[in-house]
A and B are shown apart, each in its own frame.
Chain A
Amino acid sequence: MIINRNSEFLFGFQATMTNPNGDPDQENKPRMDYDTSTLLVSDARRKRDCRDFLKNKGYQIFVDTLADKKVPMDTMFEYVRDSWLGDKKRMEQLFAENQSLKQAWEEMLGRDENYKEAYLNKLEELKSSKKTKELATVNNLFLTEIIKRSLIDIRLFGSAMAVEGVTRTYTGPVQISWGYSLHPVELVRSSTITSIMNEDSSTFGKKYKVYYALVAHYGTMNKYSAKLTGMTEEDRDLFRHALVQGLMTNQTDSKQGQEPLFYLEIVYKPEYDVYLGDLRRFVDVKENKEDDASREVTIRSLNDLTVDFHGLNQVITDLKDKGYIEKVIGWIHPVAQEGRLLNIPAFDPVDLWEPIQRGE
């Protein structure tokens, strides 16, 4: 079922002696606003983690390779198209669910139940007379429909699509803002490493890391955009798991030391079109100065911070009183439960560590 509720989420993770997101133009140094020593992490980094994770679990994704080879978009489309055309049951279901497609198809290609043959023959015929544009209406409906149904990352994050006769941009129902550290961050001072090439020669390189950063992303899920890309409730559940587990399974050298800390999502009732906007503004982060206020705090772990969700708690209570909220769901990493995250709003726990079902 396509999602019919808006929701907003807050995702926090910690990064210890790692580089959450390098800037390719700055020797791959962590992205930073140096004026305020704030670490930045792009939305694309989170989406890539999700895509990689889902792909490893057997889901077909769009921004991807076919049999480990990067292929042009139209090859990818042909592959998806042929796998649908060859499956009579799936085609029949598709027609049952999309009457305008069925109508356009029958007008153009007749009622032949050998869909693949009918389609490919017609395509050949039109190609030889250079009239492939005539297939545009069917293509438009058919291709966008099967692409949405086949590729989970398009359903979640949207895409610009362009194939013969089809040019459409879909804004993703899931939008993730850039993350930023909720406190000043320090780069590890020495970044030089030695790599030994062989017994006689070695080389010096640079590897930039931060000591510690608590980073938060804010995001929205939009029921109106979901109608256009076909994002289902099942997709939403997969996304939540992919966000948390994708970060953990990304264990290349520069990404080791990242852990998801919390995921909170406010799910609104279907009849309300409401958003609070950036939830991070309701979270207050303080450095623990302990007894000596003059001591300069160097933040090296979650123990050096107090994260207070008091403000978020208040607005959620207010919205619940107004009747807008259906539920708040959440997940907290066991390491974060030791009193460093204060006043977390009450939530229905979901186990985002639970293994997900493999895709087809």
Chain B
Amino acid sequence: MKIFSFHLRGKMAHFRKYYSNSSALSYFIPPRTTVAGILAGLLGRERDTYYHEFSLEKCQIALATRAPIKKCMQKLNLLMIKGDRDFNGSAEYPSQTATEFIIPHNLQKGYIDYQIWVVHEDDKVMTKLENLIKKDFVGYFSKGISVALGTAYNLGWLEKGRLIEGKEIKATTVVNINSVIPQKKCVEIVVDEVADGQYRLIKEEVPLEFDKDRKITPHGLGNMIINLTGQPVKVNIDSFVCLENGENITWME
């Protein structure tokens, strides 16, 4: 199958956990819904109109962290909104909200780097994406948004778009997986020969799919295994996609 691969990069990111309340926590990776939002925004789709177009059925997305990342906490003065009257700061005190940011290990020299793979059932979408994120261009094109990593002010960019060939393999195998791995596909993490500093594994439950009212669908949440160092993880897994360059990825589903 033809897969479109590209990189999402930037200096700072904030992917709000949907269940955070008084502190604004962030996922380490853009959830599948965020990636769908970036793609839809790039294509010029209007806010809240594209959830069906990028549903789990129509579009497959995989993602890998390609550079080491960490979190950093900053308190922000935000407005506490409990009703119509609270939008303009007329409340006596703003709400000081602890906000978690994702930043590169080396903030001055480094960048956050996610590699993303997409397959969309509509060939037109694939062709358009190919035209927006080009192979030999340091930036990107957009019919709508300026690309941001989560929150609008965490500006980033897209580059290195290209079509590659991939083969879906459905058999329980021990392989190195380069992308984040859905827990339900993973039989076992193989840790017989781990090099020093190779793994910093975490598990996060991330949103995968919304319905038209922004409600999470029955299959719309999934546990993902993420290696924060950006290195591949050796696992025993029941299905994956083998790419033409020898790397293996798993769809977020």
Query: Range of interface residues on chain A?
Result: 35 or more
Taken residue by residue from 148 to 163, chain B's Cβ proximity to chain A (1 for < 8 Å, 0 otherwise) reads as 1000111111110000
* B155 with A24: CB separation less than 8 A: no
Q: Which of B77, B153, B156 contacts A278 (CB 8 A)?
A: B156
Taken residue by residue from 181 to 204, chain A's Cβ proximity to chain B (1 for < 8 Å, 0 otherwise) reads as 111100000000000000000000
Using CB atoms, name the residue of chain B closest to A170.
Answer: B47
Known: A63-B89, A71-B88. A277 touches B74 (CB 8 A): no
Taken residue by residue from 113 to 156, chain B's Cβ proximity to chain A (1 for < 8 Å, 0 otherwise) reads as 00000000000000000000000001111111111100011111
* B155 with A277: CB separation less than 8 A: yes
Using CB atoms, name the residue of chain A closest to B153.
Answer: A43
* A276 with B139: CB separation less than 8 A: yes
22-53 of chain A: CB within 8 A of chain B = 23-26, 31, 33, 35-36, 38, 40, 42-44
CA distance A281 to B70 in the complex (A): 19
* A36 with B106: CB separation less than 8 A: yes
| B245 sits at the interface (CB 8 A) | no
* A177 with B11: CB separation less than 8 A: yes
CA distance A142 to B92 in the complex (A): 30
42-82 of chain B: CB within 8 A of chain A = 44, 47, 70, 72, 74-77, 81
| B108 sits at the interface (CB 8 A) | yes
| B251 sits at the interface (CB 8 A) | no
Taken residue by residue from 60 to 100, chain A's Cβ proximity to chain B (1 for < 8 Å, 0 otherwise) reads as 00111000001111101000000000000000000000000
* B139 with A26: CB separation less than 8 A: no
* B152 with A175: CB separation less than 8 A: yes
| B170 sits at the interface (CB 8 A) | no
CA distance A273 to B172 in the complex (A): 45
Using CB atoms, name the residue of chain A closest to B109.
Answer: A36
| A220 sits at the interface (CB 8 A) | yes
| B10 sits at the interface (CB 8 A) | yes
CA distance A72 to B103 in the complex (A): 36
Known: A33-B107, A182-B108, A275-B147. A72 touches B88 (CB 8 A): yes
* A36 with B75: CB separation less than 8 A: no
Contacts of A181 in B (CB 8 A): 108
* B88 with A277: CB separation less than 8 A: no
* A180 with B152: CB separation less than 8 A: no
Contacts of B147 in A (CB 8 A): 275, 277
Tally of contact residues, B, Cβ under 8 A: 48
| B84 sits at the interface (CB 8 A) | yes
* B154 with A177: CB separation less than 8 A: yes
| A172 sits at the interface (CB 8 A) | yes
Q: Which of A24, A183, A224 contacts B144 (CB 8 A)?
A: A224
A55 CB to closest chain B CB, in angstroms? 13
CA distance A161 to B142 in the complex (A): 26
Contacts of A24 in B (CB 8 A): 75, 77, 96
| A274 sits at the interface (CB 8 A) | yes
* B155 with A36: CB separation less than 8 A: no
CA distance A74 to B96 in the complex (A): 24
* B143 with A273: CB separation less than 8 A: yes
Contacts of A62 in B (CB 8 A): 88
Known: A277-B158, A315-B138. A44 touches B77 (CB 8 A): yes
CA distance A339 to B146 in the complex (A): 33
Q: Which of A38, A160, A175, A274 contacts B148 (CB 8 A)?
A: A175
Contacts of A224 in B (CB 8 A): 44, 143-145
The CB with the most chain A CB atoms within 10 A, among B11, B77, B107, B153, is that of: B153
B135 CB to closest chain A CB, in angstroms? 14
* B153 with A175: CB separation less than 8 A: yes
B145 CB to closest chain A CB, in angstroms? 7
Contacts of A275 in B (CB 8 A): 139-142, 146-147, 157
108-136 of chain A: CB within 8 A of chain B = none
Contacts of B47 in A (CB 8 A): 169
Taken residue by residue from 240 to 273, chain A's Cβ proximity to chain B (1 for < 8 Å, 0 otherwise) reads as 0000000000000000000000000000000011
B228 CB to closest chain A CB, in angstroms? 15
Known: A38-B107, A276-B157. A74 touches B84 (CB 8 A): yes
* B155 with A278: CB separation less than 8 A: yes
CA distance A275 to B70 in the complex (A): 27
* B142 with A72: CB separation less than 8 A: no
Contacts of B90 in A (CB 8 A): 70-73
CA distance A43 to B89 in the complex (A): 17
CA distance A178 to B147 in the complex (A): 15
| A3 sits at the interface (CB 8 A) | no
Known: A177-B11, A278-B10. A220 touches B155 (CB 8 A): yes
| B87 sits at the interface (CB 8 A) | yes
Known: A35-B70, A180-B11; 20 extra A-B contacts, CB below 8 A, are A38-B107, A44-B77, A70-B88, A71-B90, A72-B88, A158-B152, A160-B87, A164-B84, A175-B148, A175-B153, A175-B155, A177-B153, A178-B153, A184-B108, A218-B155, A273-B141, A276-B157, A278-B11, A278-B155, A278-B156
Binding site for A on B (CB under 8 A): 9-12, 44, 47, 70, 72, 74-77, 81, 84-90, 92, 96, 98, 103, 105-108, 111, 138-148, 152-159
A-B contact pairs, 26 of them (CB 8 A): A26-B75, A31-B74, A33-B103, A35-B105, A64-B88, A160-B81, A161-B87, A169-B47, A172-B152, A175-B152, A177-B155, A178-B154, A224-B44, A224-B144, A273-B141, A273-B143, A274-B139, A274-B142, A275-B141, A275-B147, A277-B9, A277-B10, A277-B138, A278-B9, A278-B10, A278-B157
> Top 6 closest A-B pairs, CB basis?
A277-B157, A25-B75, A276-B139, A72-B85, A220-B146, A43-B153
